[in-house]
Amino acid sequence: MLWAGLGVPDIRGTWGTFFYFGTDLTQWDVGDTEFGGKLVRLEMNGNAANAEVEGPVDPTAKSYKRISVPIQFRVNPEGTAVTINLGGHTETVAERHWSDWFRVKFRITPFLSVSAISRFYVLQATPDLRLYMSPLDLDPESPPLPISSPGDYTAELVHKHGLIKTLGWWHDTWALNEEKIDEGVFLEDAFRTMDKQAEITLDELKNDPPTLLVSVFLATDHVSHMFYRLIDPQHPRYDPVLAAKYGDAILQTYERMDGIVGEVVAAIKPGSTLLIVSDHGFHTWRKGFNTNTWLVQNGYMALKNPGAEDKTYSLENLFGQGSFFPNVDWNHTKAYALGLGQIYLNLRGREKSGILDPGPETDKVLEEIRQKLLAVRDPDTQQPVIQSVHLGHEIFHGPHMPDAPDLQVDFYDGYRTSWQTSLGAIPSGIVVANMKKWSGDHCASDPSDTQGIFFSNRVVSSTDPSILDIAPTVLKILGVATPGQLDGRALEFSNGQPRQ
């Protein structure tokens, strides 16, 4: 059986668009946030307000538009709770509390609809009405696309454990990053989600023990992303007041995870092999590097209008098929950056408007960019920013090499590709302060100092185990032949039974 994880979208086709409804929003505030949010202005009529929830794209429409459903809010006379009416379900929720799950149907045709689930947190009832609505997860009992195998597995889980999140990006990092919920709300939901995953995992182990069980917990990653600033006094978003209250959030999460591991150890059958793996470590992220801006200033990227202000992109541009690099003059551009530390050459035959041909001249351009990047210094501290720059063919291989980045940039502790570079923008400045609450990272960090952990209840005799070794190791334990060539090797274990 499989319950799909990271990569499963919400009903809008995004990685988790949250909603913020508030009377505190002005007409200029409404719309999309930079990262994953929808701001909806409320206007009170007495003690009530009406709005709409935008769901999936209408596949029957000739132009791009989303299907919406109405929602109503009513503040109680005491101003301490809000009654929410959505999709035929009504619930009164006290201020600073979470609602139960709401099921929302978006009608595509008179005979076809898709269903999602969501929860609300009442941030404030009065004097301003402010509510947070979690992303519209695909309904686990009737998902509009397959998210488990067999297809009814998530429905079985709901029958046993209640409604569950199906969004692959489980925790509400975007809402905290956009400062529409606070640290306490985020942690309450994160720990609740973590406990639900533990409940399901332990139930599978105790009541229907499989030959192989893989359970992925995301809280240690997501809490580290969001709370690193509170253990790093040098981070631009360090706040001593918040640090006194939430500075132990990462530690709390790991202690909670340790408790779950202990329960798993007690639940597995004697003789079972237990492998605990994380794929990376963490660094503080104090400053972002605007790679495309650097490429422009160093003559590798040309602009149609060099004086034009580059617009700020958002995830909605990405998911809504927005236009990227609109100001780039591709006929005179040699290289561009997209993603987290990746640089691509504007190659003829690969890029639509490529101008470079593979060969000695292209190799010279790559080495030139590499050496110049390694020489970049932080203007405030004169410290190096970039730890290593790898040529694509040095670290990647396989049938998809033609699409691999030509350079991979790895940053020193404290630095990362900027938010806007990851979306293809060309903002002002090169080394800029990271003013987001997303303050810890591992993307575009050098693997040599960003290693994850590996625990086993069996003594490993192999030296220098790698994450690439996990797949062949599991296949060997199960007695399954390796399907073709795999990176990595099966780990060797010392003689003796696994330790409980």
% of the chain surpassing 90 pLDDT:
85
d(CA 333, CA 341): 18
Domain ranges of the chain: 7-151, 285-440, 465-500
d(CA 179, CA 28): 17
142-164 pLDDT, tens digit per residue, is: 999 999 999 999 999 999 999 99
Is 41 a residue whose pLDDT tops 60?
A: yes
The residue with greater pLDDT, 407 or 312, is 407
Phi, psi of 306, rounded to the nearest 5 degrees: -60, -25
Residue 446 CB contacts under 8 Å (≥ 6 apart), including other chains:
387, 388, 410, 411
262-307 pLDDT, tens digit per residue, is: 999 999 998 899 999 999 999 999 999 999 999 999 999 999 988 7
d(CA 34, CA 42): 21
For residue 110, is the peptide bond before it cis, meaning its omega torsion is within 30 degrees of 0? no
Average pLDDT, rounded, for the chain = 93
Evaluate if pTM is beyond 0.85.
Answer: yes
Crossing angle for the helix pair 183-207 and 219-227, to the nearest 10 degrees:
170
Rounded CA Rg of the chain = 25
444-470 pLDDT, tens digit per residue, is: 999 889 999 999 999 999 888 999 999
pLDDT on residue 312? 59
DSSP-based three-state secondary structure for 470: helix
92-111 pLDDT, tens digit per residue, is: 999 999 999 999 999 999 99
- Give the number of other CB atoms < 10 A from CB of residue 250: 20
Residue 479 CB contacts under 8 Å (≥ 6 apart), including other chains:
none
How many angstroms separate the Cα of 172 from the Cα of each of 68, 120, 181, 417? Answer: 22, 12, 9, 22
* 194-203 LR contacts (CB < 8 Å, sep 24+): 194/219, 194/253, 194/256, 194/257, 194/260, 196/161, 196/162, 196/164, 196/165, 198/260, 198/263, 199/161, 200/157, 200/161, 200/164, 201/260, 201/264, 202/263, 202/264, 202/267, 203/160, 203/161
- Give the number of other CB atoms < 10 A from CB of residue 308: 11
- Greatest pairwise CA separation for the chain in angstroms: 76
pLDDT on residue 495? 66
